[in-house]
Amino acid sequence: KAGVTQTPRYLIKTRGQQVTLSCSPISGHRSVSWYQQTPGQGLQFLFEYFSETQRNKGNFPGRFSGRQFSNSRSEMNVSTLELGDSALYLCASGTGENYGYTFGSGTRLTVV
Amino acid sequence: AQRVTQPEKLLSVFKGAPVELKCNYSYSGSPELFWYVQYSRQRLQLLLRHISRESIKGFTADLNKGETSFHLKKPFAQEEDSAMYYCALFSGSARQLTFGSGTQLTVLP
């Protein structure tokens, strides 16, 4: 069974640009969550999608958005990048029930 | 609001010694708690869930609602246990995991 796949693994962007990150969940999983990991703030919840619907969003500005497709793949977008957006972005997939989430390896975003 | 506290950023023990990683939580509802582990250069992995009361790689964790704790324990630490450990609380209503700040465990030979 393939795990959670996140692409790309690394990204370098310039301030003001926008970026799109992709996540393919485990086959059969309909829940996809996104987390931001930084040394200062740790792991913080961004949003969760289930069957193409955003069910919850964390305390992040509107520049952070996401979506989920009918095949459960998800994308997150960050517009007008700021230096503080540099982080490891993690995607987690689950069945939608609370049996724990499986995380991807993450996308390392560096904003210069 | 929910909160997870891991008071130790760093913890070092010798191989064969017992280890306990502390986790305290604050949550108004019925908590669902997890331990995740991140080995060097690997992805975050689910270690165990309180609802299953299982033992994984010799680790156990008991939910103590009176003390609002979910400490992770292992009687005899191994060098391969060296990793970053995160305690996390799942909110069913918010559909999110709230993570503690993590404890870096180093098992010395």
Task: Kindly report, residue by residue over B9-37, the tens digit of the pLDDT.
Answer: 999 999 999 999 999 999 988 888 999 99
Judging contacts by C-beta atoms under 8 Å, the chain A residues touching residue B85 are: none
pLDDT of residue A63: 97
Which tokens in the block code for residue A92? 């987690």
pLDDT of residue B98: 94
pLDDT of residue B62: 87
pLDDT of residue B94: 76
* pLDDT of A9 above 80: yes
CB B53, CB B70: distance < 8 Å: no
Given B43, B90, B98, which is nearest A98 (Cβ)?
B90
Q: Which DSSP helix (H) or strand (E) runs through B55?
A: none
Q: Which residue of A has its CA nearest to B6?
A: A42
pLDDT of residue A99: 67
Give the model's confidence band at B95: pLDDT under 50 very low, under 70 low, under 90 confident, else very high.
confident
Contact at CB, A50 and B32, closer than 8 angstroms: no
Phi-psi region of A107 (alpha: psi -120 to 50; beta: other; left: phi over 0): beta
Q: What share of chain B is helix, strand, coil (3-state, %, to 5)?
A: 5, 50, 45
- Rounded mean pLDDT of A63-88? 96
**Looking up tokens 């193409």, which residue turns up?**
A52
Contact at CB, B43 and A104, closer than 8 angstroms: yes
pLDDT of residue A98: 64
pLDDT of residue A2: 76
pLDDT tens-place string over residues B32-71: 899 999 999 899 999 988 877 777 889 999 899 899 999 9
- Return the half-sphere exposure (C-beta side, CA atoms, 13 A cut-off) of residue B77: 21
Count of C-beta atoms within a 10 Å radius of residue A56 = 16
Chain B nearest-CA distance from A106, in A, is: 8
Q: Which residue of A has its CA nearest to B37?
A: A103
Judging contacts by C-beta atoms under 8 Å, the chain B residues touching residue A103 are: 36, 43-45
Between B17 and A2, whose confidence is greater? B17
Q: Does A12 touch chain B (CB under 8 A)?
A: no
Entry field: residues in chain A: 112
- Rounded mean pLDDT of A19-29? 96
Count of C-beta atoms within a 10 Å radius of residue A40 = 6
pLDDT of residue B82: 97
CB A76, CB A20: distance < 8 Å: yes
Q: Which residue of B has its CA nearest to A5?
A: B43
Q: Show the beta-strand stretches assigned E in chain B.
A: 3-5, 10-14, 19-21, 24-26, 32-38, 45-49, 60-61, 72-74, 83-91, 96-99, 103-108
- Rounded mean pLDDT of A29-34? 94
Interface test with B, best of A98, A107, A108 (most B CBs within 10 A): A98
Cα radius of gyration rounded to whole Å, chain A: 13
